[in-house]
A and B are shown apart, each in its own frame.
Chain A
Amino acid sequence: MSDRIINGLGACINSLNQVIGPAVEKTGDSLAREQVALMAKYLEFVTQRLNLSRDRTRYELQQYIFMGVEIQSLFSAKNIEAEILSTHTADAKLCLNNPDATNQELDDASVLLKAEISRITRSLRKVEPELRKLIEQVIHKYSRFIVDIRRAWCKPQNWESDKDAVPELEAILKTASTLLRTL
Chain B
Amino acid sequence: MTDAKPMHSRTLPQPSIFYPAQVESEKQWRDAPDDSDIQAIRRAFPVEDEFDLMLTRKMQRRALGSYQMPTLEEMSGYVHGFLNAHVNGEFNVKDECWLTGGASKIQFGFTLTWNDPERGLSTDQLVVRMEPAESLNATSRRREFEIIRAIAEVVPVPRTYWMDPDGQWFPEPAIVYGFISGRAKPLMDRARVSGIGTQFSPELRAKLGSQFTRHLAAIHSYDWRNADLSSFNKPKVGTTEASLWQLNRARRVWEEDRGEDMPLVEYVANWLEDNMPVLDHASILHGDYRAGNFLFNEDEGKITGWLDWERCYIGDRHRDLAWATSRLFGSMAENGNTFLVSGLVAEEQFFEDYQRFSGLEIDPKRLHYFRVLNTYQSMVGPIASTYRVVRLGKSHQDIILALVEGAAYPNAHDLLNILEEGYS
Contact surface of A with B, Cβ cutoff 8 Å: 28-32, 34-35, 38-39, 41-42, 45, 67, 75, 78-85, 104, 107-108, 111-112, 114-127, 136, 139-140, 143-144, 146-148, 150-151, 154, 157-161
> Main SS of chain A's interface residues?
helix
* Given A79-B8, A160-B410, A161-B196: A119 touches B15 (CB 8 Å cut-off): yes
Q: How far is the CB of B74 from chain A (nearest CB, A)?
A: 15
Q: Which of A118, A143, A154 has the most CB of B within 10 A?
A: A118
Beyond A38-B400, A122-B15, A122-B270, whether A159 also contacts B22 by CB under 8 A is: no
Q: Which residues of B are found within 8 Å of A114, using beta-carbon distances?
A: 21, 260-263
Q: What residues of chain A lie closer than 8 Å to B193, measured between beta carbons?
A: 158-159
A84–B330 contact, CB under 8 A? no
Looking at the complex, which one of B7, B13, B23, B99 makes contact with A79 (CB distance below 8 Å)? B7
How many interface contacts (CB-CB < 8 Å) are there between A and B? 164
Contact with A along B311-327 (1 / 0, CB 8 A): 00000000000000001
Complex CA gap A143/B412 in Å reads 9
CA distance in complex: A107, B402 (Å) = 20
Question: Which of chain B's residues 1-26 have a Cβ closer than 8 Å to chain A?
Answer: 1, 3-8, 10-15, 18, 20-24
0/1 interface trace, chain B 261-293, chain A, CB 8 Å (1 if under)? 111111101100110000000000000000000
Q: Is the CB of A81 within 8 A of B4?
A: yes
A107-B24, A118-B20, A147-B264 are contacts. A140–B416 as well, Cβ < 8 Å?
yes
Q: In the complex the two chains form, is B4's CB within 8 Å of A80's CB?
A: yes
Chosen A-B contacts, 30 in total, with CB atoms closer than 8 Å, are A30-B97, A34-B100, A42-B403, A67-B263, A80-B4, A81-B4, A82-B3, A82-B4, A83-B3, A83-B5, A104-B24, A108-B23, A111-B23, A111-B24, A118-B18, A120-B263, A121-B263, A122-B269, A125-B270, A127-B12, A140-B264, A140-B267, A143-B262, A143-B263, A154-B405, A159-B196, A159-B406, A159-B407, A160-B197, A161-B196
CB neighbours (8 Å) of B15 from chain A are 119, 122-123
- For B384-424 the 0/1 string (1 means CB < 8 A from A) is 00000000000010011011011111101100100110000
Contacting residue for B402 out of A34, A42, A121, CB 8 A: A42
Whether A30 touches B267, Cβ cut-off 8 Å, given contacts A82-B4, A125-B274, A159-B409, is no
Q: Which residues of A contact B67 (CB under 8 A)?
A: none
Known: A79-B10, A83-B4. 12 other contacts (CB 8 A): A28-B97, A31-B98, A38-B400, A81-B4, A104-B24, A112-B23, A119-B15, A123-B13, A123-B14, A140-B267, A146-B264, A151-B409
Q: Would you call A30 and B3 a contact (CB within 8 A)?
A: no
Bound state CA distance, A159 and B193, in angstroms? 8
Give the Cβ gap from A158 to chain B, nearest Cβ, in Å: 7
Which A-B residue pairs are the 5 nearest by beta carbons?
A84-B3, A154-B406, A115-B20, A121-B266, A118-B261
Partner of A147, one of B7, B18, B20, B416: B416
Contacts of B5 in A (CB 8 A): 81, 83
- Which residues from B are CB-within-8-Å of A117? 261, 263
Task: Give chain B residues whose Cβ lies under 8 Å from the Cβ of A39.
Answer: 399
- Contact A121–B97 (Cβ < 8 Å): no
Could you tell me if A38 and B263 are in contact, using CB atoms closer than 8 angstroms? no
Is the beta-carbon distance between A157 and B100 smaller than 8 angstroms?
no
A85 touches B410 (CB 8 A): no
Residues in A neighbouring B269, C-beta threshold 8 A: 122
- Smallest Cβ distance from A62 to chain B, in angstroms? 15
Nearest CB of B to A173, in Å: 16
Q: Assess whether B416 is in contact with A126, with CB atoms less than 8 Å apart.
A: no
In the complex, whether B331 has a CB less than 8 A from a CB of chain A is yes
Tell yes or no: B192 within 8 A of A by CB. Answer: yes
Question: Which residues of chain A come closer than 8 Å to B11, judged between CB atoms?
Answer: 80
Residues in B with CB closer than 8 Å to A29 are 97-98
Minimum CB–CB distance for A87 against chain B, Å: 9
- Which B residues from 58 to 75 make CB contacts under 8 A with A? none
Contact B267 A154 (CB under 8 A): no
Say whether B406 contacts A111, CB under 8 Å.
no
| B413 adjacent to A126 (CB under 8 Å) | no
Check if B22 sits within 8 Å of A136, measured CB to CB.
Answer: no
Cβ of B371 to closest chain A Cβ, rounded Å: 15
Residues of chain B within 8 A (CB-CB) of A41 are 403
Assembly CA distance A83 to B7 (angstroms) = 11
Instruction: Tell me if B93 is interfacial: C-beta within 8 Å of chain A.
Output: no
Q: How far is the CA of A45 from the CA of B416 in the complex (A)?
A: 26
A139 near B403 with CB under 8 A, answer no
Is there a chain A Cβ closer than 8 Å to B112's Cβ?
no
Complex CA distance for A117 and B8, rounded to whole angstroms: 22
The yes or no answer to B328 lying at the interface (CB within 8 A) is yes
Chain A residues lying within 8 Å of B274, measured Cβ to Cβ, are: 125
Fill in one digit per residue for B159-198: 1 if any A CB lies within 8 Å of its CB, else 0. Answer: 0000000000000000000000000000000011100110
Inter-chain CA distance A116–B263, complex, in Å, is 9
A147 touches B98 (CB 8 A): no
Contact A159 B12 (CB under 8 A): no
CB closest chain-A residue, reference B331: A161
Residue of A nearest to B408 (CB): A150
CB of A123 within 8 A of CB of B12, answer yes
Does the CB pair A122–B266 fall under 8 Å?
Answer: yes
Structural contact, A139 and B399, CB atoms closer than 8 A: no
